[in-house]
Amino acid sequence: MAKRPADPANGGANAVRQVPMRDFSRSLPMSLLRAREAVMRRFRPSLREHGLTEQQWRILRALAAIEAAEVTELARTAFLLGPSLSRILRDLEARNLIERKTAKADLRRSMVSISEKGVKLMASVAPSSEAIYSEITRRYGARKLAELQDMLAELERSLAELGASDEAIAEE
Amino acid sequence: MAKRPADPANGGANAVRQVPMRDFSRSLPMSLLRAREAVMRRFRPSLREHGLTEQQWRILRALAAIEAAEVTELARTAFLLGPSLSRILRDLEARNLIERKTAKADLRRSMVSISEKGVKLMASVAPSSEAIYSEITRRYGARKLAELQDMLAELERSLAELGASDEAIAEE
DNA sequence: GGGAGATACTTAACATGTTAAGCGAATGCG
DNA sequence: CGCATTCGCTTAACATGTTAAGTATCTCCC
């Protein structure tokens, strides 16, 4: 497991690196980052033409699928942090692409839904977005793409269980 | 648009979708984003303890491997855009973690190198960083991890070739 | 050898990522 | 009931992503 020899944590006066780390470009975070960037580079121009950022698009897409959602639920679906979502919703609301209203039962919660204008915008973006995705699938191979997705999903699962190593978990 | 009162009851019938896109959570960009976040979530606490962000760490790591580099070259290695790198280098230089000096032959270029202090900082972070990486590898499986890296690399290649197909025309 | 264009950054401006703090509303419990 | 705690969301503050514009330097070609 540990192929790295025992090393003094304090380090000596010697500045020479005796423990070369993995090749930088082969690190998993870098690989994932580059792959994702390679993919997103295809989508951004199209989104930009329609005045949407990647995150705004994610939100609209999530909303179109679920009719209405609370902010926290939407954050989980669109994989955005609360503060980011809060800002983006403010802007999308100002552009009349979404609608918001507080829940009657719990005044803390607000239900977010896509507006008619938002639906139309989505409809105008979706074709080109789908075309790009199809091209990517064609280039890479549909079977391989599905396999990649599975491996990524399992990576997520593997690391999700890992949480107990460092910090106490208070959930079941 | 949806103007129905809040209906907190889950499990109700879903609204009819007019634009049936792929399942949101199965989109490739989302899969890559979630996977990367799952990985980085493991590293960030350790880096944070040492006062480093993910990007700063990438830069130091890249510099430690190549001794000295021009800014543009460093941007490519650390996979950062010029403006981001420019800011980060300014901060790292202020913290005396890197050193900069303009090239003699070409006054536009500046050579960046890691400082002694930077090397020591790296040495103090590397062990825990390596440990985390080892744990991830153990959980996911070394063979599978290598396979994933290969698939990601090929995804990059597939999309890199795609660039010339539709972008060389649009010019303003 | 001088000016147009290319090059290597840097700044600027805006949007998001990330963590911490704030605020109003609900909840649990004595 | 009273009130400390928790919850849902927003603000704040700082760092980075992203695109466009700016600046200084260099190269090429006439």
| Per-residue tens of pLDDT for chain A, all 172 residues | 333 333 333 333 344 444 455 677 789 999 999 999 999 999 988 898 899 999 999 999 999 988 899 999 999 999 999 999 999 999 999 999 999 999 988 999 999 999 999 999 999 999 999 999 999 999 999 999 999 999 999 999 999 864 444 444 333 3
Largest Cα separation within chain A, whole Å, is 67
**Facing residue for B148 by CB, picked from A67, A139, A151:** A151
Tell me the two tokens of residue B135: 């744990």
The per-residue pLDDT for B172 is 36
CA-based R_g, chain A, Å: 22
The per-residue pLDDT for A142 is 94
Q: Is nucleic acid strand C under 7 Å from A104's C-beta?
A: no
d(CA B46, CA A103): 40
Which residues, numbered 14 to 33 in chain A, qualify as contacts with chain B under a Cβ-Cβ cut-off of 8 Å?
15, 17, 19-22, 24-33
Tell me the two tokens of residue A167: 């910090």
Please state the separation of Cα B101 from the chain's center in Å: 27
Q: Would you tell me how many other CB atoms lie within 10 Å of the CB of residue B36?
A: 21
Angle at A115 between CA A112 and CA A118, to 5 degrees: 110
Query: What residues in B contact A36, CB-CB < 8 Å?
Result: 29, 32-33, 36
The per-residue pLDDT for B22 is 64
Question: A138 CA to D7 C1', in Å?
Answer: 46
Q: Is nucleic acid strand D under 7 Å from B27's C-beta?
A: no
d(CA B146, CA B164): 29
Q: Which residue has the higher pLDDT, B16 or B95?
A: B95
CB distance from B66 to chain A under 8 Å? Answer: no
The per-residue pLDDT for A23 is 73
Closest residue by Cα to residue B15 from A118, A71, A68: A68
List residues bridging with A102 in a β-sheet.
A110
CB distance from B84 to chain A under 8 Å? Answer: no
Residue pair A24/A13 in contact (Cβ under 8 Å)? The answer is: no
pLDDT at B20 over 90: no
pLDDT digits (tens, 9 = 90+) for B52-106: 999 999 999 999 988 799 999 999 999 999 999 999 999 999 999 999 999 989 9
CB contact under 8 A, B136 and A62: no
CB contact under 8 A, B139 and A119: no
pLDDT digits (tens, 9 = 90+) for B112-159: 999 999 999 999 999 999 999 999 999 999 999 999 999 999 999 999
Please state the separation of Cα A140 from the chain's center in Å: 21
CB distance from B150 to chain A under 8 Å? Answer: no
Closest residue by Cα to residue B127 from A30, A19, A26: A19
The per-residue pLDDT for B24 is 77
Query: What residues in B contact A81, CB-CB < 8 Å?
Result: none
d(CA B102, CA B108): 7
Burial of B55 (0-12, 13-18, 19+ CB in 10 A): middle
**Facing residue for A39 by CB, picked from B32, B42, B135:** B32
Q: What 3-state DSSP class applies to A70? A: strand
CB distance from B133 to chain A under 8 Å? Answer: yes
The CA-atom distances, in angstroms, between A160 and each of A58, A157, B132 are 23, 5, 14
Q: Which residue is nearest to nucleotide D23 (CA to C1')?
A: B108
Number of A/B CB contacts below 8 angstroms equals: 203
Query: What residues in B contact A114, CB-CB < 8 Å?
Result: 1-2
The per-residue pLDDT for A71 is 96
pLDDT at B14 over 50: no
Q: Which residue has the higher pLDDT, B36 or B7?
A: B36
Q: What 3-state DSSP class applies to B69? A: strand
